[in-house]
Every structure is written in structure tokens, then in C-alpha cells.
Structure 1
Amino acid sequence: MTEQPTSHEGRQPLAARPQERTRPRSEATGGSSVPPPAGPPQDLAGTARREGDRLRFVGAATRRIARGIDLDEIVLGLCRATVPTFSDAILVYLRSPLPVGDERPVSPFVLRLRRTDRLRLAGEDSDPGTVPLPVVDPQTDLMPAAELCEVRSGGALSEVLRGVRPVFGDSAAARAALPELLGADRTVPSGHRAILAPLRGRRRVIGAAVFLRRPDRPAFEPNDLLVAAQLATHTALGIDKAVLYGREAYIADELQRTMLPDSLPQPTGVRLASRYLPAAETARVGGDWYDAIPLPGSRVALVVGDVMGHSMTSAAIMGQLRTTAQTLAGLDLPPQEVLHHLDEQAQRLGTDRMATCLYAVYDPVSHRITIANAGHPPPILLHLGGRAEVLRVPPGAPIGVGGVDFEAVELDAPAGATLLLYTDGLVESRLRDVWTGIEQLRERLAATAQLTGPDHSPPLEALCDDVLDVLGPGDRDDDIALLAARFDGIAPSDVAYWFLEPEDAAPGRARRLARRALTRWGLEELSDSVELLVSEVVTNAVRYAERPVTLRLLRTDVLRCEVGDDSPQLPRQRRARDTDEGGRGLFLVNRLARRWGATRLSTGKVVWFELPTPA
């Protein structure tokens, strides 16, 4: 955490009571712990009244400090609670860096002056009528101070901090420690009164606070040391908890974000965009996730899910379900089968491990999309003309319920349309039910599309940003995962598809068919490379296949060739010996193709390669 230096000063306090102003200085400075002799009844009443005011101040100040959640809020709460009521200025020094938990801090350690009033807008406070706080320059104002201070072992400042108890600024210990804290050439200005209070957390001293009063204020009393000790203790314990919570929240947030994809793939025929928003700063750990998984045949699987709850457990379950979904997608299972296996996995993870999930597979060649739903909000399809449609997909039961079947539907996915997948945090809140939110989202999408005209689709990234604006201020109670897919598709004229019988003549026929397709597309200069690679891949497929072999060519920004057969055994590249008659096919594919790969399917496998097309 990078820390800003902090000091604090407020207005002149209200006038002190006459009893406080007429108190002799020798008594006010607290040089003796013996209380003054009892006086007339009115003096006893005044003392009781002052003690009651002091107790009420301590109660209000500690409550204000305790309201802070993060480090800056706690230090700012201490500053605003004490200035100008208790002191005219305050300096707060904290370790740099602050130790977290049980870690061993470095020694000697460094104290850094903090200035939280510069980290907030003036007057920003939850209490009505609060006076805006001025910005104080510690170099020129009431309390000059150094930005950094090294606490040397055995030094005067080290001894004061080790003693934990606050001390008056004119005590022998403070007179030796304050120059070490404020700087060698800086001291408390003449006539000012100070209290030096160590800040000790649960295990160690984490800083120091200096309370200062001007000469026209009553001097600090012995009981003010108890007040300073109470304020310092509450502040230090609050800082300890805030630092520990901040570290845990950071780890949890990083854990969840590492479970989400760093970037989306760029499959052929579809453009993708995504957004993820945590629920709030105080509850950043959730179970929402999204994914886009390339599949054989230029298809892509679109996944969005939401594990119930907000905790580290939810995030961990989300990570396991996402990994399971990726594995199942690699097997090229139908969407309903993927949800069925996810349901079984959630039950293996334990009881009450429930989640909603929507799994869709888009085929850019057929311009169709197959969707299965497990208790998730329905997707919305934004057509090119501006019509927004809530797709009718059987909702199904959430994952983890067990013993239920999931149903998949196949729908048209026309070119230019945009499919929006989302979690319920986008459409549901305390102020509206989920179906009202879905209708508002549909209307927002339609209105956005109307602005771009009937022949154009709104930019995908801008559309995602506009969708998030459907939420009003304070209208977000849950995480939001958003995945948008713009369907471009692949034109039928850019696809060539054949079935080849698993016989010796298949490689020669594959070469002739590929050459004709390349001539039709004007890609004759790729003929030699494509014929050679197609021949090698088809020969390998025919060797093991028992059913017809499929050959497909796709022309997009690259030329893609796919050969499928019913054998699940994946080919492996190896280095052939000089005496071997075969084993060089994949070596040639690896040398000539820009990319290649092999994917196992439920019905066999697909081997594919890509070649760049001429400019």
C-alpha cells in the first residue's frame, strides 16, 4: 500500500470553562499524579461535569473511529474526532510498510507521516453539519514535522513506543523522543502543549500520534493521558484489523479474477466482449463466471454461471465448475449433457453446492445456436433491425439439485445479431424483481440499437458499457458477469464439405476436391501446400477409420482445413528415422501450416490446420 503523509488541524475550539482557564499551570500540566484537594461543593460539581463531558467525548470518538473500514477512514476518524474538541492539531505516524498478521516486521522500522485529509473531498462525512477540514502543511503550520522517521533500537523514541503509555510533551522522555520523531531540527513550538501516544496493535507498536494544543488553550490534564490512551488503542486495533482485512480482500479478489479468463478468444465468425463487476468493496468475493471456449468445426461454446452465495467457498466452487465446464466442452458434448455432468460434479463437491448456468454452442457455418439452461436468467438476442428478443429457453433446475434432466433448444443465429448472456446481478435488486429487470434490459438494448440505425449493429464494447448503465446508483446488490457475442457467421459460399470413404483412393480424391475449391475461391497459389497437407492428414485418417471421413475447407481471413474420423486416437508428431517409410506427415503439417491441432470428440476426432490467405 502506498501511503500519503497525513496531518490534521481544525478550527479554534469552543471557549473553555472558567474553571479550566483559571487552573494553575503547575496543576494543569499533570506533573503530579496526586489529585488536588477537595474544594467547595461548586468545584466538585464542576469536576464531575468535566469528567462526564470527557467520558461522553471518549465514547463518541471511539465510535467514530470504529466506523472506519479501511486504513484511511480509521485515521481520518481519529483526526476528526479529536480536532478541535481535544486538540488543535494531530500528527499520525504509521509504520511503513505496515506489518500484516503474524509476519515479522523489519527492524529498525520507519514511521511515515500520514495526511488522510488530502485523500477525501472537503466536507465529505456521514455526519450532517460537519465542518470541512482544512489542508495543513506540516512544514509551515502549527506543527512542523518530518515526513519519515527511523526508529532506532535503544533510542529515546523507541523507549517511549515500547512503554505504550502516552506521555506529556514536556516530560523528560517526550523531550528526548519528539525531536527524533519530528526531525532533528524540529521541536514543539514554544508555549504549545503536546501528548505523545504510541499506537500499539494486537502484537506490536504500529505507529505514534502527537496531540497538540495552542498556548491559548487549557493545558492537558492527567486524565487527558487516559483519553489519549483510549483513542490510541482503538485506532491501533482498528488499523490492525483494516490492514488484515485489506490483505484478505485483495487475496480473495485476485483469486476470483484469476479464475476468470484473462482475455477472450477470437474464433471465426463471432466477436466477443465481456464485463465483470464485483458486488461492492465490502463483498468482493462471489461465484459469477463467464467463458468462451473454441470448439472443433469453428464453433464456440458460450458459458455464464452464478454460484449461490458470496464467500471464498463460492469462489472456490466457481473455479471448480468452470474447469469442469472447460473439460466437458473439450469432449464436444451436447449442451444438455454438459449441464448434466456439471450437476453431478456440484453434488460431489458437497451438499448445498448449487449454481445456475447457461451453456450455448454457436455454429457459424449453419448460423444456428444450441442452448441449455440450468435455472439461469434467459439470454436476450438483439437482432440487426433493432428488435430485442428474450429467448424462450426451458429454465431447468439449478446445478446441484440432482435427479433432473436438462433440455436443449436449437435456434437461428442470424448474421449481425448479438446474444447477451448475463447473471442475475444485472437485472435483480432490492428495488425490482428479476423479470422486471429483464424487461428493462430488453428495452434498453432495443433503444440502443435504434440509435445506430436498422442496418448497423451498435459497437460491441460500447453496447456492454451501455448495458451496465441500466443499473441506477445504489441499485447493485450482487456480482455481475456479462458476455456478449456478435454473430458474423461464415457464408455458405466460403464453405466446402465432403464425405470420403475410408479407402486407398481417398487421399487422391481429397486432393482433387481441395484443388477445385481453391480455384473457385481464387486461391490457386495455395494449391501445392494444401494438396500436400490434405493428402497427409486424410491418409492418416483412412488408416484408422471405419466410417466415412469428413473433409471441410473454410475460407475466412485464413484458410482452414478440417479432417474428421471415428477413431479417438490423436496423432502425435514424431521424428522419423532415415530408414522409416512413413511418420513424416505431421512433421510436414507443422512446417507448412501456420497453426494446426487435433481435438478428440465424442464420436472420434478432428485434425485441422490453417494457412494464411494471400493479401
Structure 2
Amino acid sequence: MEQPVSVGRAGRSLGEAPGALEALVGEALTARITLDEHGTVTGWNAGAEQLLGYASGQVTGRRAADLLAEPIPVRGGMPALAGLPRWNGDVALRHRDGRKQTVRILAHHREPGTGPRAWLIVSALAGGQPRPSLDESLVSWSFAQSPCCALAIYDTRLRLRRANADMERSTALTEEEMVGLRVSEIVDDDAGERAERSMARVLRTGEPEYQENYLRAPGEDHEHAWSVFLSALRDHDGTVQGVCLSAHDMTEQFWARKRLQLIAEAGRRIGSTLDVTRTAQELADVTVPALADFVSVDLLDTLDDVPEPPAHTVPADGPLRLRRAALRSVTPGAPESAVAAGQVDSYPPGSAPFESLRTGRPALHEVTDPEFAAWLARDPARAARVRAFGIHSVMTVPLAARGTTLGVAFFVRYRSAETFHHDDLVLAGELAARAAVSIDNARRYTRERATAVTLQRSLLPQRLPRQAAVEVASRYLPAGGHAGVGGDWFDVIPLSGARVALVVGDVVGHGLHASATMGRLRTAVRTLADIDLPCDELLTHLDDLVARLNKEEQGETSGHPDTSGHPDTTGHSDTTGHSDTTGHSDTTGHPETSGDVGATCLYAVYDPVSRNCCLAGAGHPVPAVVSPDGAVELVGLPAAPPLGVGGLPYEATEIDIPEGSLLALYTNGLIENRDRDIDAGVHRLRESLARPATSLDALCDTVLSDLLPQRPADDVALLIARTRALDANHVATWAVPADPSAVAQTRKDVVAQLARWGLSDAVFVTELVVSELVTNAIRHAEPPIQLRLIHDTTLICEVSDGGNTAPHLRRARSYDEGGRGLLLVAQLTERWGTRQSATGKTIWAEQTLPLP
């Protein structure tokens, strides 16, 4: 329904009665004719009757072609116009009295919502009638009162001649006060001088120019954005007689564009890392000075003390404690801040941040507001800074994500005279929401990473065991950045016969899952090593364990067991996303890994008696050996798949290592990264290992500093061992005949050897152990039988034979004749065990010796 329209100075209005509009526009002043698609007249108004003299009843239903005095001067006639939406031109028509009239028409091809298409033909009064004159006063009024923009006309000397009402308002001057002045004299600003130079170019070239200016109108406290068009004014001959300046106030559009740009900039810069403090600082950096003169991000003091903060974190009574995580100011040093970065401050009930967190809504305050003034009255230090810097406007915006309150952001203005408005509050809320999700992601990631690091370090050796075969030093570096903690590990395991096992492994993936898997594999390796399995057999058992773990994982995730064999874990990767509103994929910020379990491992056993080292690898980087003269060589190992892949057997390699050599075991994070391939990493590793070092710890530090960036992209485990050799004087070996009478002589030989070593206190137990083990070998095993004593930090007694059957410890019944000797050996020694070899087995027992 049309609303009444005010017309004339008397305020007359058009009513809503039918025909009111027709009476206003003068329906008979325009000839209106409608035709259907076949050219038949379907409509004929009073203007058409006045133009051609036919009444509506005389024409309606007839062919329109009957009204033509001559064919339409268009190829093909009217049907050729059927595909056009509109046509205009001159048409010769025949008046009822026979006169020929040339009429300019405008034809519209209508497409109504329902029914066939039709033509609407309109025409002004018949040609030949005088064109109605336009009152010059109307032109003058239209210029002066034009509401679309500020208009001004300048002559060829660039002096103002006319200005409309909007121009008068924008300059706070009347037209009479500006006439004869240059634009640079009216606007005392660089913008006026730029506009005048552009006007001079328009006068010279006749080409229009466009500018954007930012000016503060007199009497206003904020700038306006002006879109300025400068165009030439020409006379009938085309000569430029002046310049028209039209300025459109685009302030709202300008600030809307600035807000969108700020939101886009925030999306690009906030959340670039998974660090809580860095993310909070990014919010402050983005919004100063674009939105505020000072910004601080304060997080709940208890945020890091609980696994998951409650949704409502504002205390029911008592102050709210916030830690200032970040701040930024237009003034260097941020002297207006009452709280330094990292400090904790208390905010009582009724204070602006307390109430903002309590309600969960952003709030806009002026320092003169009663509630804000009452808070400042209770905080003299903060009130003094407000007065000193002239702070006049503050916004407090809660930081919340996923239903959890994290803190509050302060936005302050004092250098900018303009106070915050509602649009600024909406913008600050949008920016704070984006930042809150990124902060929550970083908080969750930091918490999980700390948990994973703690778990990882607790599962690694806290102190390397005491043994004499090698001197060792180790390093473990968790991954930096987004990768998260991985599953790298190392271990040093004392074995029987003064031997030692050196282990380095790497579980695929990152996070808690990888750390937990690492702990399981490390425990399995120690268990398998404790039963003295050969290197290759140990890796085979470990491979079976990883395969079973894979099946368990797949059963949990897919609901059915895997029947396809070992899964392929070589393509396993991790993801670390951010949140939904920041464009990152992960909604928790946690580094995730696939459910598949995969790992690489290198297992080496060094014997200080023979100086022989047995090594076997499962998809792991090969170790390096540094000879005493400084030459570095890589140990060639047979190719083998990672654990859990299966398909190929594991093979062991044996090498002799001179005493004083270095054996370096490491994970691939040491030699491989995005900026360097493996070959280059291996080359740098060899160079680092060849450098002289004062100690193994110093050598470890040298290797890490030479090969790794400050924040490695992957976990790194490094284990360096310097080999030792037992002197021949510390090892005694006897071949024992397979005759029970040889046991007595063997005991005498052992007693004599212990006397030479000065171990007379160990004679009784050693005689008993030797007697029992040698007797069992003679009775139950096969030759050859050999006895070996090793004087190390402990006293080790070994009896080897050609049999494959290992004895088992059991409790003898009262009527049994035997079975008590092995139990007695176990009770008198520190530990005992059996290990298999290619030619038989060895039973050993180890005694602790008193410290010298």
C-alpha cells in the first residue's frame, strides 16, 4: 500500500483513493498501447486516443499493422523484434483523419508471471509539439538542495562559484563565505592541496579524476572518509568552463571495510603458534592501534592448574584473579598499564572485568559511568593512570571457547578522541572470539604436550645403569613447534657375561599415543633382553608384538579384527590443527596420530671380553663407529622393514670394535629435516663425531648444536658409547672333561684363581656355584664343557656346554634326591640365568663384590 506523499509548501498529501497517482502524473500525457504476440491491440489509453483519434473500442482487437502509414524501417518488420527485450525508434502512423504522423515510441517486451508474453508501447505527445521548458529555478533548486552528495562548482581560475547545502554543512561555511576562494583555502589540509592539483589537471586534460580523502569536519571529533569526483564542465562548443567537485561521505562504508580488513588480518595473524602467551600477544598486536590505543589480555590465574576449567569460573564471592598474559600500547613501554605482563591482579565484584565475565557479554564503558567510576574509586593506582593519560573509553570482552571461560580482554582509548561505539564492541567481540578459540587450542596443546613430555621422560632411563663394558652419554630432545612429543627412546641394558645392550628406537607419530607405545616397546625390549635373546630374534619377537598391537588398535577403531596381515605404518603422519573459526581443522588443538602402531629400532650387544658387537636393525638409521684415531664409519646393516610391517626376516651383523672406539646410535630426527636430506645430515653427523671432545657429554652437545635447529621438527634421541675391554688378567677359562672326577680339580683351579685376584672372601660361594653348575653340565648336558670366570665390577661364573636343554628352578620335595643345587645357587648369588648360543647354552651366576 502506498504511503501518503507530502507535496507543495502547504503540505498537501496524496490520498490513497484510486486514480490519485494517475491524476498526479497525467495519464493522457502519454500514449500507452499493449499488443499481444500476434500484433493484436489489447490495450488503448486516453493518450493513444488523443494521439491518433481512435477510441479504445475502435482499435482493441484489431491488428496494429493497420495503424502504420508505412512499414517499420527495421529488417523483417515487427517479428524481427520478438527476441529483443526493448526497442525504440520513429514510426509513421496514420491518424484517423488520414494524416500521417511520425511518432517516437518506446516498446517493452513484457514477460508476465503467468500467461503469454506481450508488448507495451509508449510514446510522449505527438511529434511536432513544442518540448516543455524547464524552469531555471528548478535547476537551481536541484543543485542547491541535492541530498546525494556535497557539490561545488569552480571556475577556470579554480575559484568557487556555487556550493550546495551538503557542501556548506561539510565545511561549516555558507556559500557566500566560500565564493571566490580556492579549495586549498577552504580546506586547510593536504587533502585540499591534492584536490586543487587534480582540478588543475582536469582543466588541462578534460579527463575526470577520483580521490579518497579523510578529513575531520569542523566541530566534530572524528574523521570522515570522502569519495571525491572531479569532472570538467563544458559549454555547447565543448570548451571546458569550470570544474565540478562532488564529494560523497563514505564514512560508514569505509569503517565497514576497515573492520572486515581487521577481521581478515586477525584470522591471518592470531593463532600462528600453539603457544598461549604468543597467541594472546597476537590479539593485542592486531588491535593496536587499529581498534584501540591500549589492549591487554588477562587470563584466569587458575587456567593452567586444572585439566578442564569449569564453565562458570567467576567466584561467587571474593575477587577475580587474572594474570596479564599480553599487552600492547601506542605509547612505548605501555606506561598506562596498572599491571605488568605476567603479573596477577585481583578484581572485586562490581568491577568491569568481573561483571563482564559474570554476564558472559562484552561491555562498553565510559570512565564517567557510575559503576566504572565506583570501581576506580576503590583502586587509586588505576584511577591515577586513567587521569594521567586521559583514558575516556573502555571495552571489556570475555574470552570464552567451547563453553569455557578463559579470561577477559581490555580495549582502551585515550589518544583517539573518539569514544568506542556499538560497532566497535561487536568487532572486539568477534576478534576476541577468534582469539579465544586459538588460546584454548594452545592451552589444550600445551597441557597435552606437557603430559606427553612428562610421560616420555618418565619412561626413559632416569639414570643409566652401572656397568663396565661401555661409558655412555645420551640426549633426548622432544619436538618443538606443532609436531608434539614423539615416541623416540634409548636404553642401556646390562647383560650377562659383562655384556651390555644399547637400544635406540622411534615410534611412528606424536602425542600421548606415541609416548605410551614407546613405553610398551621399551619394556618389551628389556624383557626380551633379560632372557638373552640374540639380536635378530629379539627384533623378530618385537615385530610380532607390534603386529598384535596393530590388530588391537584396529579392533578398537573399526569394531572388527584385521585379517589382512601386518598393516602398513610407513605412511603414518600426525596432524595439529586449530579451531573451527580460525580455519584450522582440529577442534581441540591436540596433536593426533593414527591408531596404527609402527616403530623402528636398532639393537646392539657389545661384549667387552671379545670386543665383539652384534647389531640388528628394523628400518632404523645405521649406527656410526668412531675408531680411536678419529675415523668415522657407518656400520652396514642388512635392509629390514620397520617393526609391525613384517614380510622380511631380521638379520644380525657382527663386528669387532677396538677398545676406546665410539658407537653412536640415534633416531632419524637427528639427520633428517625439511631443509636437509638424509645424506647431507649423515655427512654433517660424521663431521661432528670426528671432532675432538673433552667428554662424551660435550660430544653429544656438539652433535646436537651442529645438526639441529633451535626447535627440532621431530624428536631426537642420541646415545654415544665409548667401548671398554676387559684385560685378559680379568678372565679365566678352563675346559672341563665330561668326567665327574674333574669337578674336584676344577674347584682347586677356581680357588687358586680367586687367590690371585685377591677375592678370598668369595671362595666359599664360588666353589659351591662352580661345583653345582659343572656337575649338572657333566650329568645332564653334552660336551664340550667350559668354565669361565670374569672379574669385573661383579664376579661372574659361566658354564657352557653343548646341550640345548636349560635347567629350571624348582622347589625340591622332601624325598627328592636332587633339585636343590640350582635353588642354592639362586639364593647365594645376586642373579643367575641361561643364554642360548649356536652351539649350545651357557648357565651363569653373578656375585656382587665388596667395594674396594
Q: Any conservation in 1 of the 2:324–2:343 contact (CA below 8 Å)? A: no
1:114 and 2:324 correspond: yes
**In the alignment, is the contact (CA less than 8 A) between 1:346 and 1:353 conserved in 2?**
no
Higher fraction of strand: 2
Q: 1:347·1:400 contact (CA, 8 Å) conserved in 2?
A: yes
Give the conservation status (yes or no) of the 8 Å contact 1:88–1:212. Answer: yes
Look up the SS of the partner of 2:412 in the other structure.
strand
Instruction: Give the 3-state SS of the residue equivalent to 1:385 in structure 2.
Output: coil
| Equivalent position of 1:596 in the other structure | 831
Structure 1 range deviating more: 255-264 or 496-505: 496-505
Contact 1:597 1:609 in 2 (8 A): yes
Structure 1 vs Structure 2 CA RMSD: 4.2
Counterpart of 2:365 in structure 1 is 169
Q: Deviations over 1:426-448 (max 9, x none)?
A: 223334432343233223322x1
2:219 is the counterpart of 1:19: no
Give the Cα separation in 1 of the matches to 2:629 and 2:684. 19
Distance 2:338 2:281 in 1: 20
- SS of structure 1 residue aligned to 2:366: coil
1:365 aligns with one of 596, 601, 609: 609
Is 1:520 aligned with 2:730?
Answer: no
Alignment-mate amino acid for residue 351 of structure 1: P
Q: Is the 8 A contact 2:485 2:511 kept in 1?
A: yes
CA contact (8 A) 1:554 1:560 kept: yes
Partner of 1:392: 636
Q: Establish whether residue 96 from structure 1 lines up as the match of residue 301 from structure 2.
A: yes
User: In structure 1, how many angstroms separate the alpha carbons of the residues matched to 2:512 and 2:268?
Assistant: 30
- The 8 Å contact of residues 20 and 218 in structure 1, kept in 2 or not, is answered as no
Separation (CA, whole Å) in 2 of partners of 1:264 and 1:146: 40
- Counterparts of 1:135 and 1:500 in 2: how far apart (Å)? 87
* 1:223 CA drift (Å): 1.8
Matched, 1:63 2:279: no
User: Which SS does the other structure have where 2:409 is aligned?
Assistant: strand
Whether the 8 Å CA contact 1:358–1:374 is kept in 2: the answer is yes
Deviation at 1:415, TM superposition (A): 0.8
Which position in structure 2 is the counterpart of 1:494?
730
Deviation at residue 505 of structure 1 after TM alignment:
5.1
Q: For the Cα contact (< 8 Å) 1:330–1:599, is it kept in 2?
A: no
The CA distance in 2 between the partners of 1:418 and 1:269, in whole Å, is: 12
Which shows bigger deviation, 505-514 or 370-379?
A: 505-514
Residue 114 of structure 1: SS of its match in structure 2? Answer: strand
Letter in 2 for 1:279: A
Amino acid at match of 1:411: I
1:73 positional shift: 1.0
Give the aligned residue type for 1:113.
R
What is the SS of the residue equivalent to 1:384? coil
Counterpart position of 2:447: 247
CA separation of 1:255 and 1:178: change in aligned 2, threshold 3 A: farther
Post-superposition offset of 1:493: 1.8
Measure how far apart 1:21 and its partner are.
Answer: 8.2
Q: 1:168 to 1:396 in 2, by over 3 A?
A: closer
Among 233, 247, 252, the alignment partner of 2:433 is 233
Equivalent residues in 2 for 1:270-419, closer than 5 Å: 270-310=470-510, 312-348=512-548, 349=550, 350-353=566-569, 355-419=599-663
Contact in 2 for aligned 1:378/1:395 (Cα 8 Å): no
Matched to 1:465, the amino acid is D
**What residue is the counterpart of 1:531 in the other structure?**
767
Is 2:456 aligned against 1:256? yes
Q: Which amino acid aligns with 2:567?
A: T
| Equivalent residue letter for 1:164 | G
Cα distance in 1 between the residues matched to 2:373 and 2:749: 91
Which stretch of structure 1 is more off in the superposition, 375-384 or 55-64? 55-64
Provide Cα deviations, 1:488-509, integer angstroms capped at 9, x if missing partner.
0212221113355677656644
Matches within 5 A, 1:132-151: 134=333, 136=335, 138-139=337-338, 147-149=344-346
Does the 8 A contact of 1:427 with 1:434 survive in 2? yes
Report deviation, 1:80.
1.4
Equivalent pair of 2:826/2:832 in contact (CA under 8 Å): no
TM-score normalised to structure 2 length: 0.57
Question: Is contact 2:338–2:381 with CA below 8 Å preserved after alignment?
Answer: no
Structure 1 residues 504 and 102: alpha-carbon distance in aligned structure 2, compared to 1, 3 A threshold? farther
Amino acid at match of 2:425: L
Mapped to 1, the partners of 2:358 and 2:470 lie a distance apart of 65
Q: Distance in 2 between matches of 1:589 and 1:372?
A: 32
Q: How many angstroms does 1:474 deviate by?
A: 7.1
Q: 1:541 to 1:572 in 2, by over 3 A?
A: farther
Deviations 1:237-261 (A, max 9, x none): 2222221121122223333334433
Give the corresponding residue for 1:265: 465
Structure 1 residue 155 displacement after superposition:
8.2
What are the within-5 Å matches in structure 2 for residues 457-606 of structure 1? 459-471=695-707, 473=709, 476-500=712-736, 508-524=744-760, 526-528=762-764, 530-531=766-767, 534-535=770-771, 551-562=787-798, 568-571=806-809, 595-598=830-833, 606=843
Distance 1:44 1:172, change over 3 A: same
Residue in 2 that maps onto 1:49: 254
**TM superposition shift of 1:416:** 0.7
Query: What displacement does 1:476 show?
Result: 4.9
CA distance in 2, matches of 1:195, 1:509: 96
Cα distance in 2 for residues equivalent to 1:538 and 1:178: 94
Distance in 2, matches of 1:476 and 1:289, equals 16
Select between 546-555 and 262-271 the one with higher mean Cα deviation. Answer: 546-555
Query: Using a 3 Å threshold, how does the CA distance of structure 1 residues 475 and 102 change in structure 2: closer, same or farther?
Result: closer
**Residues 383 and 55 (structure 1 numbering): CA distance in 2 closer, same or farther, change over 3 Å?**
same
Matched, 1:429 2:625: no
Amino acid in structure 1 at the alignment position of 2:414: R
- Residue 596 (structure 1) shift: 3.4
Equivalent residue number for residue 846 of structure 2:
609
C-alpha distance in 2 between matches for 1:522 and 1:280: 54
SS of aligned partner of 2:539: helix
Match of 1:205 in 2: 405
Could you tell me which residue of structure 2 aligns to residue 28 of structure 1?
none
CA distance in 1, matches of 2:380, 2:821: 79
The reply to whether residue 79 of structure 1 matches residue 315 of structure 2 is no
Offset of residue 352 of structure 1: 1.4
The alpha-carbon distance between structure 1 residues 411 and 604, as it changes in their structure 2 partners (threshold 3 A), is closer
SS in structure 2 of the partner of residue 189 of structure 1: helix
Offset, 1:151? 5.8
Matches of 1:178 and 1:549 in 2, distance apart? 96
Give identity over the alignment, percent. 37
Shift of 1:482: 1.6
- Residue 36 (structure 1) aligns with: none
Deviation at 1:271, TM superposition (A): 1.6
> Which segment drifts farther, 70-79 or 174-183?
174-183
Residues 1:96 and 1:387: Cα distance change in structure 2 (over 3 Å): same
Q: Which runs of 5+ in 2 are unaligned?
A: 1-212, 223-245, 551-565, 571-598
Deviations 1:230-289 (A, max 9, x none): 222222222222211211222233333344333322323212222222332311233433
Within the alignment, does 1:189 sit opposite 2:389 as a pair?
no
Which residue matches 2:424?
224
Q: Aligned-pair distance for 1:360?
A: 1.8
Does structure 2 retain, via aligned residues, the 8 Å contact 1:570–1:598? no
What is the CA–CA distance in structure 1 between the aligned matches of 2:218 and 2:377, rounded to whole Å? 30
Cα distance 1:103–1:147, how it changes in 2: closer, same or farther (>3 A)? closer
1:528: how far off?
4.4
Distance (whole Å) between structure 2 residues aligned to residue 160 and residue 611 of structure 1? 69
